[in-house]
Amino acid sequence: MDGFVDEVNITVEAGDGGDGAVSFHREKYVAAGGPDGGDGGKGGDIVFLVDDNLNTLIDFRYKRKFKAERGENGQGSRKFGRSAEDLVIRVPRGTVVSDRESGRVIADMSGSEPVVIAKGGRGGRGNAHFATPTRQIPRFAKPGFKGQKLDLHLELKLLADVGLVGFPNVGKSTLISVVSAAKPKIANYHFTTLIPNLGVVKISDENSFVIADIPGLIEGASEGVGLGHEFLRHVERCRLILHIVDVSGSEGRDPKDDYEIINRELRSFSEELVNAPQIVAANKCDMANDEQIALFKEYIESKGVPFYAISAATTEGTKELMNEVYKALKGLPPLKVFEAEPEPLWQEPEPDKMSFEITEDDGVYFVDADWLEGILRTADMEDYESLQHFQLVLKTSGIIDELIKRGVKEGDTVSVGGFEFDYVE
């Protein structure tokens, strides 16, 4: 399995925001310059980008933790800290990114646009923001927000219009080599190859489709026998299955049995998969007699499945087969894309995990509670219902009662995880 890795777990952590600065303007002949602390810079995002030079996730076997840089701290003279560079992680096209714990799909890296997977924290605000007529010398600033940290599951699901299935050594690699520019390794192997071979079949200058040799489909594959369990998932996206069968029986097997065994494996893995449109290509016709071809053709067509006789080795019938495949594709839905699922609504933790700490500095009450980060990230404070829910959380968690004990008064500023509001009785 060293040659191909199609499933891996990694951890990504976006950068924290830089801290706001506490600073005061000092200038000759200016008695009270006032606060001039600048804001911290934003932490770097974790960004995924498709790289078509990659066809495996093997690089992630050797590096599984990725962390973006934090933003710079703010400075005096209202100088903002510099935002950190995003950390760009390159993945093969077709990589599905999901949350390891919940299984929620975060992104399907099928397009060419970069996707932000984890967001960097916002920079903290400098003390220049906190000056009021009654608080002219604020000696505090806000720390930067934490960046998102995620445990991810990456799974490569090949992006191909047509998936070639069949027993090892039936001629799948040979067919790809003669109908596309792909140059797969071809040998008389009696075991499955390790790396899927992809090729682009050009019908004309404007029309083409992607074909993939899906390795691993041998009897017992769906139960993990051989390598099949690792690769069956790659057929999920294919719009059409091209089933290659050795009609000559050169390996000592019956082509009818081969056909049924492979379909049984597909069915064991996914009922949806076995019902996908399928075309049967009877390969190695140059080594078969007319009776073998006729009997197998009758058997396949009795099942309502299109049948084509070819010889990949001599290219006989391969061009006609590709033309028929292209015609079939034109009437099928586009490639399956796994829709990203929205981030779940914040869930209130158990009461014993709702600890918090309140500090007061120059009339501002700071509430420190790590468990509130989730609601602050997903809540829209411009939305009335979202704001009402946030206020309810503050009340039920005991934060409001503790603020009252600390002497908070109407109009005082309360800062919760960087979100500020005036206390109203």
pTM listed for this prediction: 0.70
The string of pLDDT tens digits covering residues 210-258 is 888 876 544 444 444 444 445 566 677 788 999 999 999 888 889 999 9
What pLDDT is stored for residue 272 in this prediction? 75
Largest CA distance in the chain: 107
What pLDDT is stored for residue 204 in this prediction? 87
Sign (positive/negative) of CA torsion 394, 399, 405, 407?
negative
Same domain (yes/no): 284, 381: no
Same domain (yes/no): 63, 139: yes
What pLDDT is stored for residue 227 in this prediction? 41
**Do the domain assignments include residue 337?**
no
Same domain (yes/no): 297, 362: no
Q: Cα–Cα distance between 91 and 301 in angstroms, integer?
A: 41
**Do the domain assignments include residue 184?**
yes
Task: Identify the domain boundary among 304, 330, 356.
Answer: 330
Which residue numbers in the chain have pLDDT < 70? 1-5, 27-33, 132-135, 182-196, 215-234, 344-353, 374-375, 377-382, 417-418
What pLDDT is stored for residue 4 in this prediction? 55
CATH number at residue 96: 2.70.210.12
Same domain (yes/no): 204, 263: yes
Question: 210: part of which helix (H) or strand (E)?
Answer: strand 208-213
Same domain (yes/no): 85, 179: no
**Do the domain assignments include residue 421?**
yes
What pairs with residue 67 in β-bridges? 13
Rg (CA), the chain: 31
Residue 75's contacts (CB-CB under 8 Å, 6 or more residues apart) are 21, 23, 37, 38, 81
Same domain (yes/no): 186, 152: no
Question: 244: part of which helix (H) or strand (E)?
Answer: strand 240-246
**Do the domain assignments include residue 339?**
no
Task: Identify the domain boundary among 330, 364, 383.
Answer: 330
What pLDDT is stored for residue 2 in this prediction? 41
Sign (positive/negative) of CA torsion 392, 394, 396, 402?
negative
Same domain (yes/no): 308, 281: yes
Range of the domain at 279: 162-330
**Do the domain assignments include residue 168?**
yes
**Do the domain assignments include residue 105?**
yes
Q: Cα–Cα distance between 40 and 158 in angstroms, integer?
A: 42
Same domain (yes/no): 260, 369: no
CATH number at residue 358: 3.30.300.350
What pLDDT is stored for residue 259 in this prediction? 93
Give the end-to-end CA distance of the chain in Å, rounded to a whole number: 65
Same domain (yes/no): 116, 254: no
Task: Identify the domain boundary among 330, 353, 386.
Answer: 330
Same domain (yes/no): 196, 174: yes
Same domain (yes/no): 372, 412: yes
What pLDDT is stored for residue 366 in this prediction? 84
What pLDDT is stored for residue 108 in this prediction? 94
CATH number at residue 218: 3.40.50.300
Same domain (yes/no): 355, 243: no
Report how many domains make up the chain: 3
**Do the domain assignments include residue 336?**
no
